[in-house]
């Protein structure tokens, strides 16, 4: 047998060689941890469908933020579970609500050592579970929802958020929030647009964690059709033109082509959300001994980075960051 002329295995022979020639890495600073903060909790409550994830009190959320700083995690993104819900989601902009209170407490505890994000949507705050007030046909009223998002963003900016992240997929939401922040003296607060957010089957555990299940209907009327990639490109372009500081694709793993296209089209930072279903599948398989959970989660997030994401929102952020610093 003629020996091969090329031996690529030379650079894969040892762990040190593999580390030296790795094309993609996952630094802890690129990870963002989703955090659920409830108005009426004194202690953390585990989320059954998201092993290792909890609904937090403000105090326990602050402790989690301190853990993130110690591990080098880049940021946290807050979701609120209010004490009271109504048809328009007014608890979302209540300065005494769970997210503003948590933002203020986290900022006091960790200063500028952690980037504080706040998700902007009404699904956790409406009594019907949709992303804003409903019109007479039962569809979300786009412009009324956007007015609520602006009020949310202003409340979160006043409480200390570095970034607000509108996730409702309403037309014009980024431009309206940018104008609102600028007019209110919060020009320093960035907007991370959930620019390509799909009507995905992978959100189920999140809705348990956030208490955002819908009484009826679905979100297919405003979130992207999973069949469409060119439409996602248009949404990315629109949000960039409206003044987004960064663009997000959600979910991540099932839409790596969209992540890669976002990276190709835009010089803005690109984030991708490794969503609850993508995380929970690995956890469920690991619990049954079918997968090495830590390795599978690490590989999943690595693939999202390889596709072009600068930042990855993932429920595994803290454990992956701790592993990276060991």
274-300 residue pLDDT tens: 999 999 999 999 999 999 999 999 999
Closest CA to 258 of 198, 302, 183: 198
Q: Which pairing describes strands 311-314 and 270-274: parallel, antiparallel, or unpaired?
A: parallel
Contact 88, 147 (CB under 8 A): no
Residue of 56, 107, 197, 263 marked active site: 197
111-159 residue pLDDT tens: 999 999 999 999 999 989 888 889 998 899 999 999 999 999 999 999 9
177-216 residue pLDDT tens: 999 999 999 999 999 999 999 999 999 888 888 777 656 7
Structural domain spans, the chain: 26-324
Quick one: fold of 26-324?
TIM Barrel (3.20.20)
| Residue 197 appears among annotated catalytic residues | yes
Closest CA to 69 of 326, 276, 317: 317
Rounded to whole angstroms, how far apart are CA atoms 6 and 4? Answer: 5
Residue of 222, 250, 266, 274 marked active site: 250
* E-assigned strand segments in the chain: 31-38, 45-46, 54-56, 75-81, 115-120, 163-166, 190-197, 246-250, 270-274, 311-314
Helix (H, G, I), strand (E, B) or coil at 272: strand
CA atoms within 13 A on the CB side of 78: 41
Helix (H, G, I), strand (E, B) or coil at 49: coil
36-78 residue pLDDT tens: 999 989 999 999 999 999 999 999 999 999 999 999 999 999 9
């Amino acid at each position: 047998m003629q020996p091969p002329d090329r031996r690529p295995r030379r650079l894969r022979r040892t762990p040190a060689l593999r580390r030296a020639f790795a094309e993609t890495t996952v630094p802890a600073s690129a990870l963002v941890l989703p955090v659920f903060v409830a108005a009426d909790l004194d202690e953390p409550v585990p989320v059954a469908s998201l092993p290792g994830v909890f609904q937090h009190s403000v105090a326990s959320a602050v402790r989690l933020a301190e853990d993130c700083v110690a591990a080098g995690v880049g940021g946290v993104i807050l979701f609120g579970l209010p004490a009271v819900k109504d048809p328009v989601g007014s608890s979302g902009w209540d300065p005494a609500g769970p997210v503003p209170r948590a933002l203020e407490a986290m900022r006091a505890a960790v200063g500028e050592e952690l980037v504080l994000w706040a998700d902007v949507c009404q699904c956790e705050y409406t009594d019907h579970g949709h992303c804003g007030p409903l019109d007479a046909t039962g569809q979300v009223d786009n412009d009324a929802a956007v007015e609520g998002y602006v009020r949310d963003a202003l409340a979160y900016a006043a409480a200390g958020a570095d970034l607000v992240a509108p996730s409702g997929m309403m037309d014009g939401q980024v431009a309206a929030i940018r104008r609102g922040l600028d007019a209110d003296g919060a020009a320093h607060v960035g907007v991370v647009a959930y620019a390509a957010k799909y009507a995905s089957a992978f959100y189920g555990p999140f809705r348990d964690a956030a208490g955002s299940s819908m009484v009826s209907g679905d979100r297919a009327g405003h979130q992207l059709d999973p069949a469409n990639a060119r439409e996602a490109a248009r949404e990315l372009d629109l949000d960039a033109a409206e003044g987004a500081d960064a663009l997000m694709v959600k979910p991540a793993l099932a839409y790596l082509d969209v992540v890669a296209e976002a990276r190709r089209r835009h010089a803005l930072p690109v984030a991708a959300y490794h969503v609850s279903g993508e995380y929970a599948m690995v956890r469920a398989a690991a619990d049954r001994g079918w997968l090495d959970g830590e390795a599978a989660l690490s590989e999943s997030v690595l693939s999202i980075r390889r596709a072009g994401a600068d930042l990855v929102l993932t429920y595994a952020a803290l454990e992956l960051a701790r592993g990276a610093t060991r």
